[in-house]
Structure 1
Amino acid sequence: MNKISVSQAWSYATSFFSGQMANHAIVLIGVGIFVPMLLNMLFGGGAAALSDPMAYSMAAMSGAAIVVGILGYILQTGSYFASWRIGLTDGAEPIGGALAFGVVASLPVLLLGLALALVFGLVFVLIFGGAMLPMLMGGGTPGEGALASMGLMVLVLVPAMLFLFVWLAARFCCTGPIMADRRTYNVLTGLGESWRLTAASQWKLCAYFVLLGVVMFVMLGIVGMIAGVSMVAGGASTGGIMTGVVIGSLLVGIPMAFLQVGVPAGIYRALGGDNPAAAFA
């Protein structure tokens, strides 16, 4: 089982799109960003937010908005799978076939994500609900001791949860590339192989993800300032607000899409993903 070189993984990540950049741009930007954005503006209440935030909050809870949100997730995640498929086959997979695979492959990922969200939500309710229940049943204002206990619990649990998420991301980061490389829709196969593949380098990968997280945090701050300046320059009109929203969405969405595809693909290749015998030995 191979150990990773972070510099090599980043080199593979940045070179993953070379030779097929136009195809990657079509699936990641066109299908994964523009189409969901357009659907949200037309049917999900996105246009209403520009003139009436309250109307948007009501529209966001409608059935149409939920369907648009699910469809947007499928298109976005499907574009990632399509991009992995295009890159790992060096363009041998046509765009249509890659997109068809990606859309179908995103469905089990969606179901798994919903199941995990339900599990983590229940755990959160059990932990914090169990702590709050005695106070609620007792009535009155919580005492200083109870508030101090709650504060200590938050200080302990929040860093622990963040560490857990980073570690799980490190262990399962190759799931998508493995599924795309094998052209399988079985997400459990991808999870299991990723768990084995990243075992020897899990702590390096954790540090790699923390470093990327810091860089993205700084990048999001810069993008936020640029979007804010665009809104101010456009004035308080609907057009000015829309310009700022679109520019901000593109400035965030495009780099994030390429990172979310390139980083796992680079890790997969650095761990021997191009040579299954070496990767899974």
Structure 2
Amino acid sequence: MMKMSIGAAFSETFAFLKANWMQMLMWVGGALVVVGLLGYLFLGSTFSAMAMAPNDPSLIMGAFGKIMLFALIAAVIFYGVSMLIWRGGMYPGEAPNFAWAFQAGPALAFGMMVIMIAAYIVIFIVMFIMTLIFGAALGGMGGLSPAAFESGGAGAIGGGAILLMIILYVAMIVFLLWVQGRFIVAGPVMAERLTRNPVTGLGESWRLTGPSQWVIVGFYLLFTIGVFVYALVAGMIFGGILGAIAGGSVVGAMLTMIVMAALVYLPIIMISFSVPVGVYRAIAPRASGDVFA
């Protein structure tokens, strides 16, 4: 275990992508096709029905249930595929272990869901407490009385409220990045040890990321900004070109969506799957002999 650098994390992330891009393309591309087909089967008729009767409450509730079920199935597929990618990258030539991957993946997904729910509960409690404190500072509704406005007090209070909300919003983002950073290598740990127990992966990730937790937050932030810029620029370039070629036809629009998914979103997903292993190798050099062997 060692303190990583942001440069090392980026270097190891793209090294993993370079070494395993064909395998990742196969698994991620296959997963996107399967999820796309399931989405069409699950939700195609539902969205058509909602468009015809947008104010039907029973239809809306049914659609919500189908969307949640589809999201659950998609999560199982992508987490299982991520396990196959991480294990295959660490142990090249090993036969894919589908039974393990599609048990370990959903287990990790469930563990992360529990953690994120707990994180949002913490955020809600903090926001509630801050609201109570700030409400007390306003002195009740009197703080918003005409006299307060005339004296300029309400303007100062309003400015303070806006500043406080900005600080709380930034703090919330940093907190969520920190939570994700502390558990970022749980998947690679489970893949290396071939375990189905998410507690093992999450606990080991918490231990390994401790010395580098704020460096990981910075890496996550830079990575997110980079992905956003790439998606924006690539989407504008390819979207404009493909839109002109499609000419407004339905078939052209479908082809545009497929090509956009392949050229813009598929690379982002592949890089995202490479990040946990990149961070894992940067903070756990003992795994270097296995990863990219």
TM-score (norm 2): 0.74
The aligned residue for residue 202 of structure 2 is 191
How far apart are the structure 1 equivalents of 2:213 and 2:134? 36
Contact in 2 for aligned 1:78/1:103 (Cα 8 Å): yes
**Per-residue CA distance 1:173-214 (angstroms, 9 max, x = gap):** 111111111122222222221121122222322222222122
How far apart are the structure 2 equivalents of 1:14 and 1:38? 30
Note the residue ranges of structure 2 that are not aligned, 5 or more in a row. Answer: 289-293
How far apart are the structure 2 equivalents of 1:110 and 1:3? 24
**Per-residue CA distance 1:199-258 (angstroms, 9 max, x = gap):** 222232222222212211210111331453233542333333323333333334312222
Matches within 5 A, 1:202-217: 202-217=213-228
* Structure 1 residue 34: Cα displacement: 1.8
Percent of residue pairs identical: 26
* Amino acid aligned to 1:36: V
How far apart are the structure 2 equivalents of 1:221 and 1:198? 31
Residue in structure 1 matching 2:232, options 212, 221, 227 = 221
Note the residue ranges of structure 1 that are not aligned, 5 or more in a row. Answer: 277-281
The aligned residue for residue 152 of structure 1 is 163
* 1:272–1:35 Cα change, 3 Å: same
* Amino acid aligned to 1:224: G
Asked if residue 251 in structure 1 is aligned to residue 263 in structure 2, the reply is yes
* 1:34–1:133 Cα change, 3 Å: farther
The aligned residue for residue 251 of structure 2 is 239
The aligned residue for residue 68 of structure 1 is 70
Contact in 1 for aligned 2:104/2:195 (Cα 8 Å): no
Report how many residues are paired. Answer: 271
Matches within 5 A, 1:132-143: none
Larger mean Cα displacement after TM superposition, 33-42 or 115-124 = 115-124
Contact in 1 for aligned 2:42/2:70 (Cα 8 Å): yes
SS at match of 1:236: coil
Asked if residue 29 in structure 1 is aligned to residue 29 in structure 2, the reply is yes
* 1:179–1:154 Cα change, 3 Å: same
* Amino acid aligned to 1:24: M
TM-score (norm 1): 0.77
Matches within 5 A, 1:2-151: 2-17=2-17, 20-31=20-31, 33-45=32-44, 48=47, 58=60, 61-94=63-96, 96-97=98-99, 99-109=101-111, 111-112=113-114, 115-116=117-118, 119=121, 122-123=124-125, 126=128, 144=154, 147-151=158-162
Larger radius of gyration: 2
How far apart are the structure 1 equivalents of 2:209 and 2:52? 44
How far apart are the structure 2 equivalents of 1:254 and 1:18? 15
How far apart are the structure 1 equivalents of 2:168 and 2:52? 34
Asked if residue 168 in structure 1 is aligned to residue 179 in structure 2, the reply is yes
How far apart are the structure 2 equivalents of 1:239 and 1:124? 50
How far apart are the structure 1 equivalents of 2:53 and 2:71? 19
* Amino acid aligned to 2:236: M
Larger mean Cα displacement after TM superposition, 125-134 or 107-116 = 125-134
* Structure 1 residue 147: Cα displacement: 4.7
**Per-residue CA distance 1:84-115 (angstroms, 9 max, x = gap):** 11112223142534643454434524642663
How far apart are the structure 2 equivalents of 1:45 and 1:192? 40
SS at match of 2:63: coil
The aligned residue for residue 201 of structure 1 is 212
Cα RMSD for the two superposed structures: 3.7
Contact in 1 for aligned 2:80/2:101 (Cα 8 Å): yes
Contact in 1 for aligned 2:16/2:274 (Cα 8 Å): yes
* 1:260–1:20 Cα change, 3 Å: closer
Larger mean Cα displacement after TM superposition, 75-84 or 119-128 = 119-128
* 1:59–1:163 Cα change, 3 Å: same
